[in-house]
């Protein structure tokens, strides 16, 4: 008997390595706005959280400045940046196996809905997922928790018993904390962009270092 029946994946740093595209687009936006480019360590912090939050937290922008910076970022990202990206080795095999084993698969990401769908279609991953949920540009769904709640709703995970059989997989604390907010378990992955100890400190239920360990962990728990 399966311990988990529903598996929800983050996108950036979990399904795909999006570092190149995101960093280039952050640099593009900051250059265009005449802002100083931060160091590599701070640039990597843009991967994962909502962009508006990153521009505010990392660059000290006001809410209005961050919204404008995000719009400038998307000038490049929506044309070029979203495809400067690659699927992690072994990920499609993992999704294929879980799909064959009749797990209910979904994506929940802070990336807006349109580029999320385009990326998954570009890499031919979209067919593995019953539900794909990104953030909304009107700010009605702009936190990781809100995105995950919508994914759970669309999946029909609407009771405590069903939530006990749902697992969120992601590479940053936002995925782990969002899972806690939603009342589901979390599996943190360290092949993405989490700093050392971040996943432990935020209470991930399970932690793996590499893609193959995801399937091993899910099978071990079944």
Q: pLDDT band at residue 93, thresholds of 50, 70 and 90?
A: very high
Question: Which pLDDT does position 216 carry in this prediction?
Answer: 97
Report pLDDT for 139: 76
* 159-213 tens-digit pLDDT: 999 999 999 999 999 999 999 999 999 999 999 999 999 999 999 999 999 999 9
Q: What is the pLDDT of residues 10-55, one digit of tens each?
A: 999 999 999 999 999 999 999 999 999 999 999 999 998 889 999 9
Which of 214-218's residues contact partners 24+ apart within 8 Å by CB, and which partners? 214/94, 214/169, 214/187, 214/189, 215/94, 215/97, 215/98, 217/187, 218/4, 218/7, 218/98, 218/103, 218/167
pLDDT at position 50: 86
The string of pLDDT tens digits covering residues 131-151 is: 999 999 887 888 999 999 999
Average pLDDT, the chain: 96
Q: Which long-range contacts (CB under 8 A, 24 or more apart) does 161-166 make?
A: 162/6, 165/2, 165/3, 165/4, 165/5, 165/6, 166/4, 166/5, 166/6, 166/7, 166/8
57 among known catalytic residues: no
pLDDT at residue 215, as a whole number:
97
87-105 average pLDDT score? 98
**Domains plus CATH for the chain?**
6-17+86-221 (3.40.50.1000), 19-83 (1.10.150.240)
Which residue in the list 10, 12, 53, 175 is annotated as catalytic? Answer: 10
pLDDT score for 142: 83
The predicted structure's pLDDT at residue 76: 97
Query: How far is residue 95 from each of residues 5, 63, 177, measured CA to CA in Å?
Result: 14, 38, 24
């Amino acid at each position: 008997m399966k311990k988990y029946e529903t598996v929800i994946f983050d996108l950036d740093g979990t399904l795909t390595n999006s570092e190149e595209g995101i960093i280039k687009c952050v640099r593009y936006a900051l250059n265009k706005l005449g802002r100083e480019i931060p160091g590599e360590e701070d640039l990597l912090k843009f991967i994962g959280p909502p962009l508006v939050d990153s521009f505010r937290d990392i660059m000290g922008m006001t809410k209005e400045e961050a919204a404008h910076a995000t719009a400038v970022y998307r000038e490049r990202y929506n044309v070029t940046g979203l495809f400067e990206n690659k699927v992690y080795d072994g990920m499609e095999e993992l999704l294929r196996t879980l799909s064959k084993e009749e797990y209910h698969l979904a994506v929940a990401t802070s990336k807006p809905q349109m580029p999320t769908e385009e990326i998954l279609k570009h890499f031919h991953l979209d067919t593995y997922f019953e539900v794909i949920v990104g953030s909304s540009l009107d700010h009605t769904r702009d936190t990781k928790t809100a995105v995950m709640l919508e994914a759970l709703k669309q999946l029909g995970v609407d009771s405590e018993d069903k939530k006990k059989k749902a697992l969120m997989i992601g590479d940053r604390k936002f995925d782990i904390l969002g899972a806690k907010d939603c009342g589901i378990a979390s599996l943190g992955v360290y092949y993405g962009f989490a700093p050392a100890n971040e996943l432990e400190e935020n209470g991930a239920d399970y932690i793996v270092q590499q893609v193959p360990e995801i399937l091993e962990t899910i099978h071990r728990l079944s």
